[in-house]
Amino acid sequence: MADIINVEVIYALPQRQELVTVKLPEGSTLQQAVEASGLLAKYPEIDLTKGRFGIFAKLSKLDALVRDRDRVEIYRPLLADPKEVRKQRAAEGKVMKKGGGAGEE
């Protein structure tokens, strides 16, 4: 019989986080841990095909093996792309500087 390992599966929501500890046979994958957690049924927005997952804050693939006491993290999609936000801020800043500088002459 395979050894049993304990794995935490975490899904962070804006107001709280869900933490579920699952017992799995040694040699289980990240995907098996997520499925065993029951979080897929509770939160239908979690998509195994498009979602991003990690083990201890390191992005990992669904077929990555989990070890005893690993923390599997389910990441939510970003509401805004940080690069786009920076570009928009930079563009707004340039417009303001041009507008302010012309009136000072």
Model confidence at 3: pLDDT above 60: yes
In a domain, 100, yes or no: no
CATH number for position 28 = 3.10.20.30
Model confidence at 97: pLDDT above 60: no
In a domain, 56, yes or no: yes
3-state SS record for the chain: CCCEEEEEEEEECCCCEEEEEEEEECCCEHHHHHHHHCHHHHCCCCCCCCCEEEECCEEECCCCECCCCCEEEEECCCCCCHHHHHHHHHHHHHHHHHHHHHCCC
In a domain, 93, yes or no: no
Domain of 17, in residue numbers: 4-77
Domain count, the chain: 1
In a domain, 85, yes or no: no
Highest mean pLDDT among 13-17, 25-29, 73-77, 101-105: 25-29
pLDDT tens figures, 73-87: 999 877 767 777 787
pLDDT tens figures, 49-76: 999 999 999 999 999 999 999 999 999 8
